[in-house]
Structure 1
Amino acid sequence: MTLPHTALKPAHLTVLAPREPGSHRTVRRDGEERGPQPPHLRRDLRHADAVEAEQPPHRPAPIPTGRERELEAITKLCSARSSPSTSVLVQGDAGSGKSGLLRAAVEEIRGEGDTVVSASGDALESGFAFGLVRQMFEHLVRAEGGSPHALLSGQAAAAAPLLLGTAGGESAEDLPVEELLRGLYWLAVNLTTTGRLIIVVDDLQWADRDSLRWLHFLLRRAGNLPLVVLASLGPEPAGEGAETTGAVMRLLRHQLVLRPLDDEAVAALAENALGAAADASFSAACRAATGGNPFLLRALLRTLRAAGAVPDARTAGELTRDPLPGVGRAVQGLITSFGPDALAAARALVVLGGSADVLLLSGVAELGEGATRDAVHGLVRAGLMTDTGESVGFAIPLVATAFADEVAPSLRHELHARAARLLLAQDAPLEEVAAHLLHAPLGVPGAAEVLHSAATQAAQGFRVTEAVALMRRALREGVDDDRRATLLTGLGRAELATSVPDAVRHLERGLELSRDATERTVAARALSQALFTLDRYPEGLAVLRSTSETLRQVDAVNALRLEVDFLYGSASMPASAPAVLPRLQELRLSDAEGSGAERPLAALLALRTLMAGEDPDEVVALARRALSGGLHPGGDDSLVYLGAIHALGAAGQSELALSYADSAVDEARAQGSALTYAFALSARAAVRLRLGHVQECRADAEATLEVLGEIGVGRDCARSVAATAALMDALAKQGDVEGAAVLLEKGWLGGDLSGHWVNDYVLLARGRLRMAQGRTREALADFLLCGHRTSARKLPGAGVLAWRPEAALAHAALGERDAALALAREELARARRWGVPEFEGVALRTLGLVTGGAEGLALLREAVEILEGTPGKYYHAQAAADLGALARTAGELPEARIHLQQAAGIAHQIGATVVAEAALAELRALGYRPRTRAFSGVEALTPAERRVADLAAQGMTNRAVAEHLFVGLRTVEVHLTNAYRKLDIDGRPGLARALARTD
Structure 2
Amino acid sequence: MVRDRIGNSGLASGLVGRVDDVRALNRLAHAARRGCARSAVVTGSTGIGKSALLHAFLSGDACRHATVLHGSCEEGTAGDSLGGVRTLLGPTAREGAARYARRALVPGALAGEPPHAPAVQHAFHGLYRLAADALSRRPLVLALDDVHHCDELSLRWLDFLLRRAHALPLLVVLTQQTEAAALAHGVPAGRALADLIAHHRTTTLRLRPLTETDVAEAVRRCFPEPAAPAYATGAWAVTRGNPHLLDRLLSALRAEGAGPSEGGADRIAGSGSRVLARWARDLLDRRPPWVGEVARAVAVLGERGADRVGPLAAVPAEVVEDALTVLREAGLLAAGGRHLMDDAVRAAVLAPLDARGLSDLRTRAALLLSDAGRPAEDVAEHLLPLPWIREPWMPGVLLEAAAQAEARGAPETAARYLYRVLEGDPGSVEVRVRLAGVLAETDPSEAIRLLRGALAPSVDVRTRARIAAQFGTTSLAAREGSAALGMLEDVLGALDAELGPDPLPADRELRTLVESVLLIVGSHGRSTIAATRKRAATMTVPEGDTPAQRQKLAAMAVLTALDGQAPEAAVQCAQRVASFSQLPLKSWSLINSAFVLGLADHTDDALHELDRLLRHGRENSAVWTYSVALATRAMLLHGLGALPEALADARTAVQISGAERWAGTVVLPRLALAGVLVDRGEAVHAEKLLTGTEPVWRDPYMWTHHRYLMVLGRTRHALGDAEGALALFRECGRSLEEAEVRNAAYLPWWAEAACVLAELGRAEEAQEPAAHGTRLARRWGTSRALGLAALARGVATPGEEGVELLGEAVRELSASPARVDHARAELVLGRSLLAADDRRAAREHLRAAADLAQRCGALALGQQARGALLAAGGRMRRMTTSPLDLLTSMERKVAGLAAGGAGNRSIAQSLHVTVRTVETHLTSVYRKLDIAERAQLAQVLRSPGVRGAPAPRQVPRPRGQR
In the superposition, the TM-score normalised over structure 2's length comes to 0.61
Letter in 1 for 2:478: L
1:654 and 1:277 map into 2 onto residues whose CA distance is 57
1:557 partnered with 2:506: no
1:925 partnered with 2:782: no
**Is the CA contact (8 Å cut-off) linking 1:549 and 1:559 kept in structure 2?**
no
User: Over aligned residue pairs, what C-alpha RMSD do you find?
Assistant: 4.8
Secondary structure of residue in 2 paired with 1:712: coil
Cα shift readout 1:886-939 (whole Å, capped 9, x = no counterpart) = 344445545444443433333234332210110221233345553334446677
1:880 and 1:440 map into 2 onto residues whose CA distance is 71
Aligned position for 1:468? 415
| Distance change in 2, residues 1:514/1:687 (3 Å) | farther
Aligned position for 1:493? 437
| Distance change in 2, residues 1:879/1:402 (3 Å) | farther
| Distance change in 2, residues 1:666/1:899 (3 Å) | farther
Secondary structure of residue in 1 paired with 2:877: coil
Aligned position for 1:64? none
**Is the CA contact (8 Å cut-off) linking 2:634 and 2:649 kept in structure 1?**
yes
**Is the CA contact (8 Å cut-off) linking 1:492 and 1:507 kept in structure 2?**
yes
Q: CA deviation at 1:655?
A: 3.4
1:868 partnered with 2:814: yes
Aligned position for 1:672? 621
Letter in 2 for 1:772: A
Among 758, 767, 789, the residue aligned to 2:704: 758
Q: Which of the two has higher C-alpha Rg?
A: 1
| Distance change in 2, residues 1:506/1:271 (3 Å) | closer
1:557 and 1:272 map into 2 onto residues whose CA distance is 66
Q: CA deviation at 1:868?
A: 2.6
2:302 and 2:616 map into 1 onto residues whose CA distance is 31
Cα shift readout 1:483-531 (whole Å, capped 9, x = no counterpart) = x211111111111222222222222212338836665444323322333
1:282 partnered with 2:229: no
Q: CA deviation at 1:782?
A: 2.7
Cα shift readout 1:592-611 (whole Å, capped 9, x = no counterpart) = 65344211111122123324
2:460 and 2:370 map into 1 onto residues whose CA distance is 30
Among 477, 485, 489, the residue aligned to 1:541: 485
Aligned position for 1:738? 684
2:470 and 2:62 map into 1 onto residues whose CA distance is 56
Q: CA deviation at 1:301?
A: 11
Aligned position for 1:183? none
Q: CA deviation at 1:994?
A: 5.3
Secondary structure of residue in 2 paired with 1:589: coil
Secondary structure of residue in 2 paired with 1:408: helix
2:744 and 2:553 map into 1 onto residues whose CA distance is 22
| Distance change in 2, residues 1:396/1:557 (3 Å) | same
**Is the CA contact (8 Å cut-off) linking 1:903 and 1:919 kept in structure 2?**
yes
Letter in 2 for 1:476: E
Secondary structure of residue in 2 paired with 1:795: coil
**Is the CA contact (8 Å cut-off) linking 1:649 and 1:687 kept in structure 2?**
yes
| Distance change in 2, residues 1:871/1:453 (3 Å) | same
Q: CA deviation at 1:792?
A: 3.6
> What are the equivalent positions in structure 2 for 1:527-676 lying under 5 Å apart?
527-552=471-496, 553-554=498-499, 555-590=507-542, 594-628=545-579, 634=584, 636-638=586-588, 642-676=591-625
Aligned position for 1:198? none
1:546 and 1:878 map into 2 onto residues whose CA distance is 49
1:278 and 1:989 map into 2 onto residues whose CA distance is 31
| Distance change in 2, residues 1:782/1:728 (3 Å) | same
In the superposition, the TM-score normalised over structure 1's length comes to 0.59
Aligned position for 2:347? 408
Letter in 2 for 1:650: L
> What are the equivalent positions in structure 2 for 1:321-400 lying under 5 Å apart?
341=290, 345=294, 348-349=297-298, 351-356=300-305, 358=307, 360-376=308-324, 396=336
Task: Judge which range, 642-651 or 413-422, deviates more.
Answer: 413-422
Q: Show structure 1 runs of 5+ residues with no match.
A: 11-265, 293-299, 305-309, 386-393, 942-952, 954-978
Letter in 2 for 1:902: A
2:827 and 2:367 map into 1 onto residues whose CA distance is 74
1:902 and 1:330 map into 2 onto residues whose CA distance is 79
Q: CA deviation at 1:835?
A: 2.5
Aligned position for 1:848? 794
Q: CA deviation at 1:695?
A: 4.3
Q: CA deviation at 1:626?
A: 2.8
2:847 and 2:874 map into 1 onto residues whose CA distance is 10
| Distance change in 2, residues 1:368/1:995 (3 Å) | farther
> What are the equivalent positions in structure 2 for 1:822-841 lying under 5 Å apart?
822-841=768-787
Cα shift readout 1:316-335 (whole Å, capped 9, x = no counterpart) = 67799999998999999999
Aligned position for 2:825? 879
**Is the CA contact (8 Å cut-off) linking 1:504 and 1:530 kept in structure 2?**
yes
Cα shift readout 1:144-163 (whole Å, capped 9, x = no counterpart) = xxxxxxxxxxxxxxxxxxxx
Letter in 1 for 2:346: V
1:315 partnered with 2:188: no
> What are the equivalent positions in structure 2 for 1:672-711 lying under 5 Å apart?
672-711=621-660
Aligned position for 2:47? none
Aligned position for 1:948? none
Percent identity, aligned pairs only? 26
Aligned position for 2:671? 725
Secondary structure of residue in 2 paired with 1:276: helix
2:243 and 2:530 map into 1 onto residues whose CA distance is 69
**Is the CA contact (8 Å cut-off) linking 1:897 and 1:923 kept in structure 2?**
yes
**Is the CA contact (8 Å cut-off) linking 1:654 and 1:690 kept in structure 2?**
no
1:789 and 1:5 map into 2 onto residues whose CA distance is 72
Secondary structure of residue in 2 paired with 1:572: coil
Q: CA deviation at 1:858?
A: 3.4
Q: CA deviation at 1:875?
A: 0.9
Q: Show structure 2 runs of 5+ residues with no match.
A: 13-51, 73-85, 92-142, 148-161, 163-167, 182-206, 208-241, 249-275, 352-357, 500-506, 888-898, 900-924, 947-962
Cα shift readout 1:735-792 (whole Å, capped 9, x = no counterpart) = 3333333334321258666473532222222332333344333433332332233234
1:924 and 1:700 map into 2 onto residues whose CA distance is 34
1:4 and 1:282 map into 2 onto residues whose CA distance is 10
**Is the CA contact (8 Å cut-off) linking 1:303 and 1:326 kept in structure 2?**
no
**Is the CA contact (8 Å cut-off) linking 2:466 and 2:514 kept in structure 1?**
no
Secondary structure of residue in 2 paired with 1:735: coil
Aligned position for 1:747? 693
Aligned position for 1:214? none
Aligned position for 1:95? none
Q: CA deviation at 1:588?
A: 1.5
Q: Number of aligned residue pairs: give it.
A: 675
Among 772, 777, 781, the residue aligned to 2:718: 772
| Distance change in 2, residues 1:988/1:793 (3 Å) | same
